[in-house]
Amino acid sequence: MTGTEQDVRRQHERHALLRRMLEDRRGEIQEKLRSILDTLPDEKASVRDTEEQSVSDFVEEVDFTLMQMKSETLAKIDEALRRLAEGTYGQCLDCTREIPGARLVALPFAARCRDCQERQEAATENDVRETTPAIGSKLREALALSPDKEATHE
């Protein structure tokens, strides 16, 4: 077997291993989602007092948030499987360099290398800050609208 044939074989083995890993993770998440969905109707069936209803509502909100997070993870896994089929899995979307294997082991659906991911998160954080006034500026505005201390003592 030539070196090129060995490389192709290794690439196919890696591809199969990655696909299996991503599909296993997808299956785990889908099972967790089914489990959450199965418990929701049972909780709604019983009559509750105000306190029990509050706890139930809180648990439902937590379950909904978990379902949302798991759904987002499923979408990322599906995207990683698409990149795997295209042959671009493990390649950073931004800088096109190879994503280190340790990062892919820790986060199999990573689409960016650590540096590019940090830059994207920092940019997103800055966008949120620019569109949401800081608490300090809101406090200054409120204080500016309040009557003068001296005026209230008259």
C-alpha span between 143 and 45 (Å, rounded): 49
150 in the same domain as 96:
no
Position 154 scores a pLDDT of: 40
75 in the same domain as 40:
yes
Q: State how many domains the chain has.
A: 2
Position 139 scores a pLDDT of: 59
119 in the same domain as 106:
no
Position 153 scores a pLDDT of: 42
pLDDT in tens, the chain (154 residues): 677 888 788 888 888 888 888 899 889 988 988 887 777 655 555 656 788 778 878 888 888 888 889 889 999 999 999 998 898 999 999 999 999 988 988 888 899 999 999 999 998 887 666 555 555 565 566 666 655 544 444 4
82 in the same domain as 17:
yes
Strand partners, 98: 91
**pTM score, whole prediction:** 0.61
Give me the domain span that covers residue 77.
3-112
152 in the same domain as 107:
no
Position 96 scores a pLDDT of: 94
C-alpha span between 94 and 120 (Å, rounded): 10
Position 108 scores a pLDDT of: 87
31 in the same domain as 43:
yes
44 in the same domain as 118:
no
Position 100 scores a pLDDT of: 92
